[in-house]
Every structure is written in structure tokens, then in C-alpha cells.
Amino acid sequence: MTRLVLLSHSLSASAPVWPGNPPAARTDLMEAIERGDVANTTILHLFSHSGTHVDTPWHFLPDGPAAWQLPIEAFSFAAPRLVEVPAGERHLITRAELEPHDAVIAEADLCLIRTGWGAQRDADPKRYASAGPLLDADAGAWLLDAHPRLRAIATDAISIAAPWDLDRAVATHHALMGRGRPDGRFLLIYEDVRMVPEAARATRVHAWPLFIEGADGSPVTIVAEVEGE
């Protein structure tokens, strides 16, 4: 039996965000039945890189595609694979830590990297946002260069980068987004993902953004199809 499992966090004004970013979401009630209006309507204020979201190349590359410019098929994955890469506070995830998972990653079109840092999201939101692990740029380049089937990666940290090393943060995004590659390949980057235990059994994953013209990235709703109980 196949069931659906949500891998995205709900958006809210209190959700942890990259330091300095605006709240992930804010809602303003425009009309309210309790005030005598005939319906409830809401104005939504969303930030493109808070909450569970996708980074597309235009986030860092002036000539890269944005979320709304990519086909819907780019956000569905038929071969998700989860790898466990334990990483704590201010930990640099290196290529050497990913290489033992090479055979699994080689099968994947989406690589879910579960570091365990996601447990800090509720326990210590400020620490979760400011002191999480960071993927080294060399590891990012290896993921792209050595795995032709791979189209996206995901992390259970606030970002695949981290605010405690901004130079490395930029370099990692450039590597994953294929900066300077003649073949035009890049990886989509899903961040602040809810890596529940069932994610390891996902057979398909759909991670669709909002298709907003002019947006470089977008909040996403990620749904995994999971086999078994």
C-alpha cells in the first residue's frame, strides 16, 4: 500500500529563518466572517528562502533559471534516496563523508541528506538557524560531477550552507548550481526539509514550488510516496 508523507514544515511567522531574513510567512486577515463579512480572505506574505523551500540557479547566478521558468517535471523525482550523514554544530560536510554513499547516490535523482540537525529546529530554533552544518563546495561539485542521474539534493538543516562561513556558503551554492559548467547542469537545492523516518522508504517525491513570475526560489510542499506500513 502506498501512502503520502509530508516532508515540508508548515510556514509560520515563528518558524526559524536564516539570520536576518524576514519571517517565513505572515498572514493578514482581510475579511472575516466574525466581523460580519460573507467570507474569510487572507493576504499572504511569503519570503522565497524561508521555511521548506527550493533554491534554483537564479538565486546565485544571474543567467540561471528561476523556479517559475522550469517545467513542472523538474520538481518530481522517481528515484529518491536517503543517506545518513551525521553532522552537528558548525560541521563542514566533506566529500570524504559522502563518498561511502556513492553507490546509493548514483541511483538517485534526488538525494536526501539527513544530518540529524533537524532535531534542533524545535529544540533550539535560534541555534538551528545560526550554527548548523555546511556542505563543502568540493563535496557539492563531486555530487554534480560524479552522478549524472542526480537532479536535486535536500537537507534537514536551515540551508545547505551556513551563516558562520559566508564565503563557503556562496562557493557551495555556486558549485551545486553549476557555475561555469559548459553542459548547463545544476542541482536543485531543497532546504529546511522535514526528514521524518518514513523518508528513507520514499519511492517517489514531489516537491513543487509556487510558480510566481520573478521569484528566484519558492516555498515548497514536499510529498513523498511511501510503500508499506
Instruction: Give the model's pLDDT for residue 195.
Output: 97
Query: What's the mean pLDDT when you consider all of the chain?
Result: 96
What are the pLDDT digits (tens) for 154-165?
999 999 999 999
Mean pLDDT of 59-78: 95
CB 8 within 8 A of CB 193: yes
What residues have CB less than 8 Å from 20, skipping those under 6 apart? none
Instruction: Give the model's pLDDT for residue 147.
Output: 98
Instruction: Give the model's pLDDT for residue 229.
Output: 64
226 pLDDT band, cuts 50/70/90, is very high
Mean pLDDT of 36-54: 94
Instruction: Give the model's pLDDT for residue 227.
Output: 86
Q: What percent of the chain has pLDDT over 70?
A: 100
What are the pLDDT digits (tens) for 121-155?
999 999 999 999 999 999 999 999 999 999 999 99
C-alpha pair distances (Å), 58 with each of 36, 91, 154, 186: 44, 27, 18, 11
What are the pLDDT digits (tens) for 6-44?
999 999 999 999 999 999 999 999 999 999 999 999 999
CB 35 within 8 A of CB 8: no
Instruction: Give the model's pLDDT for residue 224.
Output: 98
With a cut of 70, say whether residue 3 has pLDDT above it: yes
What are the pLDDT digits (tens) for 85-119?
999 999 999 999 999 999 999 999 999 999 999 99
Q: What is the DSSP letter of 164?
A: T
Kindly write down the DSSP assignment for every residue of 15-42, as one continuous string.
Answer: S--STTPPPSEEEEEEE-GGGT-SS-EE
- The domain spans of the chain are 2-9+48-227
Q: Which CATH number is associated with domain 2-9+48-227?
A: 3.50.30.50
In 3D, which of 135, 145, 147 has the Cα closest to residue 105?
Answer: 147
228 pLDDT band, cuts 50/70/90, is confident
